[in-house]
Chains A and B, each alone.
Chain A
């Protein structure tokens, strides 16, 4: 029994330490790249305004992000009492912003000035034995427009 407890505590501690560090690092890189790609206009509008001589193509970006052991444990506790699960909120926030950034990077490589009709799709792809969510996949796609 004590061995089980030790393993559990080690997993919890390493999840907390590495998970927090990974999240902090990720947010830092998200902020930097969001600033760098600020010039590309993003819209979920389907109908383009009259823009003259343009051409376009489909661009997409996707990411799979996993939650750490500590946060999953906290989320499990939260399930007992109800309320906001901020552990999952930050996971999904990071995943969506990362997917949008990758899509914008692809649009930037194409030379686009804007991306239209952006659609986001989220799916949980890895479930552990208890059935709780391990990781999420987010796909962002849209039509990039550049002036000819």
Chain B
């Protein structure tokens, strides 16, 4: 499965469009990370726990999108976009979407 966020896959030809695919996940941070985060809010600096959490969640969203693309017979997803929204205090939704295509 090849992903790209431009209209085509570089060096390949798209032969068929299969429509929109998406994947999303909602994650909450756990209390330990929250305590570390409030400490960092005093001293400043990177919140490594949060960076990892969001990175993992984004990978999860991508893998769900890829699964959906595979199930309809695509072998690439173009025009991938990400979006993040906080839906409740302490929880965030990560969303990935793109167009499933078949390459020759």
Contact = CB atoms under 8 A, between A and B. Distances in A.
Interface of A: 11, 14-15, 18-19, 22-23, 26, 46-48, 51, 53-58, 60, 62-69, 71-72, 98, 116-117, 119, 121, 123, 125-126, 128, 134-135, 137, 139, 141-143, 145, 148
A65 B47 contact: yes
Which of A48, A53, A60, A134 counts the most B-chain CB atoms under 10 A from its CB?
A: A60
Given A56-B10, A62-B51, A117-B5, A67 B82 contact: no
A25 B9 CA distance: 39
Interface residues of B, number: 32
A68 B9 contact: no
Contact of B46 (A55, A66, A71, A125): A66
19 contacts: A11-B42, A14-B43, A55-B9, A56-B2, A58-B3, A58-B80, A64-B46, A64-B51, A66-B40, A68-B41, A69-B41, A121-B82, A123-B84, A128-B41, A135-B37, A135-B50, A137-B50, A139-B58, A139-B82
Contacts of B42: 11, 14-15, 18, 68-69
A18 B9 CA distance: 46
B44 A19 contact: yes
A15 B50 contact: no
Contacts of B40: 66, 135
